């Protein structure tokens, strides 16, 4: 198991110095699920605020680009790609985000932030119909590149 790199020897938080790392292509995909009742799902298309799924897609992409402003010790990265895939299922809305860069550090936090904000946006746009909507299962699906190598959730 590796050391937690966001703390110095005295236990104080610090931003990791990645200046010695070689820039490589790095990708990440993350997942979130918004569980809602079938009657709420059926009314997605008639939302007076607009299409909640398309607005959530744009919100997720914007969130990926703003991750270092939300997560204190994240490095600002020049993303070369960010996207959100949204699928309506019987029990709710499945969100899969993706992020890509060529840098000395990975984009896992950007993908996770994108999925979380897309899910929160779906909630925001449907909460008038049901306050008990749940955001579930936020996790990293996979990442590629970097010193630690590739990861795929089993």
Domain ranges for the chain, please list them. Answer: 37-145
Q: Is 51 a catalytic residue?
A: no
- Residue 40 in contact with residue 126, Cβ under 8 Å? yes
Q: What is the pLDDT of residue 33?
A: 98
Q: What is the pLDDT of residue 5?
A: 72
- The span from the CA of 113 to the CA of 108, in Å, is 9
Residues 6+ apart with CB under 8 A from 150: 142, 143, 144
Q: Supply the DSSP symbol for 75.
A: P
Active-site residue (options: 8, 39, 90, 124): 124
The pLDDT mean for the chain works out to 93
Residues 6+ apart with CB under 8 A from 30: 96, 97, 108, 111, 112, 114, 115, 138, 139, 140, 141
Range 37-145: architecture per CATH = 2-Layer Sandwich (3.30)
Q: pLDDT by residue (tens digit) across 114-127?
A: 999 999 999 999 99
Q: What is the pLDDT of residue 4?
A: 59
Q: pLDDT by residue (tens digit) across 130-147?
A: 999 999 999 999 999 988
| Closest by Cα among 76, 35, 74, 32 to 57 | 32
Q: pLDDT by residue (tens digit) across 52-86?
A: 999 999 999 999 999 999 999 999 999 999 999 99
């Amino acid at each position: 198991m590796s050391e937690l790199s966001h703390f110095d020897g005295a236990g104080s938080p610090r931003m990791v110095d990645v200046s010695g790392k070689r820039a490589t292509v790095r990708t990440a995909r993350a997942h979130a699920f918004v569980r809602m009742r079938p009657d709420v799902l059926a009314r997605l298309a008639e939302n007076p605020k607009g299409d909640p799924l398309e607005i959530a897609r744009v919100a997720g992409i914007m969130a990926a680009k703003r991750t270092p402003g939300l997560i204190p010790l994240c490095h600002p990265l020049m993303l070369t790609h960010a996207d959100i895939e949204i699928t309506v299922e019987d029990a709710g809305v499945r969100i899969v985000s993706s992020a890509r860069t060529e840098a000395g550090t990975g984009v896992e936090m950007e993908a996770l932030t994108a999925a979380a904000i897309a899910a929160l946006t779906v909630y925001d746009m449907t909460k008038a119909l049901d306050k008990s909507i749940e955001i579930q299962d936020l996790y990293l699906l996979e990442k590629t590149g970097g010193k630690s190598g590739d990861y795929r959730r089993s």
